[in-house]
Amino acid sequence: MDSEYVSGVSDMVRCIDPVAGRPALADDLVEAVFASDLATGAAVTQDRYAAAVRRALQVHGGVGGCLAVMATAYGEHPECAVPRSAWARALVDRFYG
C-alpha cells in the first residue's frame, strides 16, 4: 500500500505513540472514520475510505470536531458507539497499519 493513505495527510508530522506503537495520527483517523458518513460494517475501498475521512474532517471542522461527535455518541448511545469505534479502528489498521 502507498504510504500516503489520505491525500494531504502525509505532510503531517507522524509521531509514534509509545504505548500503542503506531503513529498517533492513527487515532485521529479513527475519530474521522467514526464521524464519517460511512455505514458501520460497510465494505469500504481505500478510495472511499480516504474520501470519507476528508469529508468528515471538513464537515466537523477537523479532528476536534470528529472527536466531539465520537464523545457525544459514547455518551448518548454507547451500545452503538462501541461497535462503530471497533469497526473504525479496523478500517484504519487495514488501510494504514
Distance of CA 43 to the CA centre of its chain: 15
- Sketch the domain layout of the chain as residue ranges: 25-96
- Tell me the CA distances in angstroms from 32 to 25, 27, one per residue in order: 11, 9
Say what the pTM is. Answer: 0.76
pLDDT recorded at residue 30: 96
Nearest to 22, CA basis, from 88, 93, 95: 93
Under the banding of pLDDT at 50, 70 and 90, the label for residue 14 is very low
pLDDT one-digit tens code per residue, 55-96: 999 999 999 999 999 999 999 999 999 999 999 999 999 988
Can you tell me whether residue 70 is helix, strand or coil?
helix
pLDDT recorded at residue 15: 46
Phi, psi of 23 (to 5 degrees): -60, 135
Under the banding of pLDDT at 50, 70 and 90, the label for residue 25 is confident
